[in-house]
């Protein structure tokens, strides 16, 4: 029942939880019924014959009345969009992969980082 209240956004039904508990005690004390709370819930939410008996008492129970709320969200996209061109990468045939790899990734300053310190 709580999942139904929360999933339908009928938080107003939570305000009537105390009416539900009071009505349960009413059945136990006034009507002298020997029922547990789950049987009480089944009687009030599944048994249509019982709901028609004391209709006025049952109207204050959660999920017996509905309220409709409308929420509209509008998103306006920005009209100031900028477009960037995609640059074309041109490879020259005279540069071999091996010389590029050695020149840029194994340069002397990079190799010197991994050398042990020298005693001076």
pTM of the predicted protein model = 0.39
Pairwise CA distance, residues 104 & 17, whole Å: 73
DSSP 86-99: PPPP---TTS-HHH
Pairwise CA distance, residues 58 & 16, whole Å: 11
Q: Which tens digit of pLDDT belongs to each residue from 2-55?
A: 455 445 545 566 667 777 888 888 878 887 888 888 888 888 777 777 766 776
């Amino acid at each position: 029942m709580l999942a139904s209240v929360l999933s339908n956004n009928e938080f107003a039904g939570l305000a009537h939880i105390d009416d539900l508990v009071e009505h349960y005690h009413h059945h136990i004390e006034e009507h002298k019924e020997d029922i547990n709370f789950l049987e009480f819930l089944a009687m009030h939410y599944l048994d249509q014959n019982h709901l028609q008996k004391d209709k006025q008492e049952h109207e204050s129970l959660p999920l017996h009345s509905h309220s409709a709320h409308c929420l509209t969200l509008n998103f306006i996209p920005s009209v100031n969009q900028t477009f960037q061109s995609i640059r074309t990468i041109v490879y020259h045939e005279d540069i071999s992969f091996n010389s590029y790899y050695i020149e840029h990734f194994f340069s002397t300053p990079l190799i010197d980082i991994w050398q042990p310190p020298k005693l001076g």
